[in-house]
Every structure is written in structure tokens, then in C-alpha cells.
């Protein structure tokens, strides 16, 4: 199922390209309204999701980089072990991998992750995010859905996994 790594590469490329465009055209923390509930707002996140540990002294850069690298290696190994019928799972993992690589690149090269998508309602803003974060979230949702699909498939088989033997029975 390594054929799905193109999706990871596409996500990482789109993520890095949009971050470069945002960094070039936007001013840090200055919102550019697009329509009600949506702004472009350049932000630098030295922490993790929701700026977790962002105010630390800098050790978190390497901590989150190592986690992203280990997770990326683990996902790549997982993808190599998938059956050809596990397309849904392969897509989910490829999305998470592409997002992890995009954010890892930022952490290693810049020391922070570039965020630029600002969604809000009235005065309440969701933390700024990027294409990598979106891909990770979509991939995570697909993983959850796939876990239920697997349970449904097992239930159809009466909870017994069917395997073929040498003679095909």
C-alpha cells in the first residue's frame, strides 16, 4: 500500500506551499477578513495543538519533532503492512503522515509551525491552523470511522475472521 504515499507527499507539498504564501503575504497576527467567520491570520506556534507548551523555553521544539518523526516512521511501517483491501485505512494514514511531515518540516527548519487559517464565531476564535493540521484531523476521523467499519465487517462474519488456506478454502 505504499502507493498511497503520493497522498502524503501531496499534503506536505500543499501545506508547505500555502505556509510559504501566507508567510510572504500576511503580517504576523494581523487578520485579513475573507468572509464572516473566516480570516487569514499568520501565526507562529512553537507548541503543539492549541499552543500546548508554546510558552516553554524551546525544548518543546525538539520534543515535538522527535514525536512527529517517530509517529511518521510508525505510520510508514504500518502502511507497508496493510492489505490491498485496506484502502480506507491507507488513505487515513497517508493524510496523517503528510500532515505530520508538513509540521515537522516547520519545527525543524523554523522552530515553530506556521498557522494561517482563522475560523471564528462572533468573538470566539478557534486556534489558527494550517493544511497539515486539517489533513491530520481528517485522517484521524477516517481512522475512527474505519475502526467502526472493521467492527461492522467482523459482525457480518459472526465475529470470526475468515482466512484462506493453501487450497483456497
Question: For 47-88, what is each residue's pLDDT tens digit?
Answer: 666 565 655 556 777 888 999 999 999 999 999 999 999 999
Q: Which domain holds residue 143?
A: 2-56+72-155
Q: Is 146 considered catalytic here? A: no
| pLDDT at 27 (0 to 100) | 98
Q: How far is CA 133 from CA 1, 96, 97, 113, 156, in A?
A: 23, 9, 11, 10, 35
Residue 19 lies in a domain: yes
160 located within any domain: no
Q: Catalytic: which of 15, 106, 115, 146?
A: 115
* Alpha carbon distances (Å) from 107 to 1, 47, 48, 59, 103: 28, 9, 10, 11, 6
| Domains in the chain, number | 1
Asked, for residue 128, whether it belongs to a domain, the answer is yes
Q: Would you say residue 21 lies in a domain?
A: yes
Counting beta carbons within 10 angstroms of the beta carbon of residue 76, is it exposed (0 to 12), middle (13 to 18) or buried (19 or more)?
middle
Indicate which residue of 133, 146, 153, 157 is catalytic: 133
pLDDT in tens, 87-116: 999 999 999 999 999 999 999 999 999 999
CA atoms within 13 A on the CB side of 2: 4
Look at residue 63 and tell me if it is in a domain.
Answer: no
Asked if residue 138 belongs to a domain, the reply is yes
Question: Could you tell me if residue 77 is inside a domain?
Answer: yes
Amino acid at each position: 500500500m505504499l502507493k498511497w504515499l503520493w497522498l502524503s507527499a501531496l499534503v506536505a507539498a500543499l501545506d508547505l506551499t500555502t505556509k510559504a504564501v501566507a508567510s510572504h503575504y500576511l503580517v504576523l497576527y494581523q487578520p485579513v477578513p475573507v468572509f464572516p467567520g473566516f480570516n487569514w491570520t499568520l501565526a507562529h506556534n512553537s507548541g503543539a495543538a492549541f499552543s500546548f507548551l508554546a510558552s516553554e523555553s524551546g525544548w518543546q521544539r525538539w520534543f515535538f519533532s522527535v514525536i512527529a518523526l517517530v509517529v511518521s516512521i510508525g505510520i510508514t511501517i504500518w502502511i507497508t503492512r496493510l492489505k490491498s483491501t485496506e484502502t480506507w485505512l491507507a488513505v487515513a494514514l497517508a493524510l496523517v503522515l503528510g500532515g505530520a511531515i508538513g509540521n515537522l518540516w516547520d519545527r525543524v527548519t523554523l522552530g515553530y509551525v506556521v498557522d494561517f487559517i482563522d475560523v471564528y464565531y462572533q468573538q470566539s476564535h478557534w486556534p489558527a491552523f494550517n493544511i497539515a493540521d486539517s489533513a491530520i484531523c481528517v485522517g484521524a476521523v477516517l481512522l475512527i470511522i474505519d475502526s467502526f467499519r472493521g467492527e461492522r465487517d467482523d459482525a457480518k462474519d459472526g465475529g470470526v475472521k475468515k482466512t484462506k488456506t493453501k487450497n483456497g478454502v
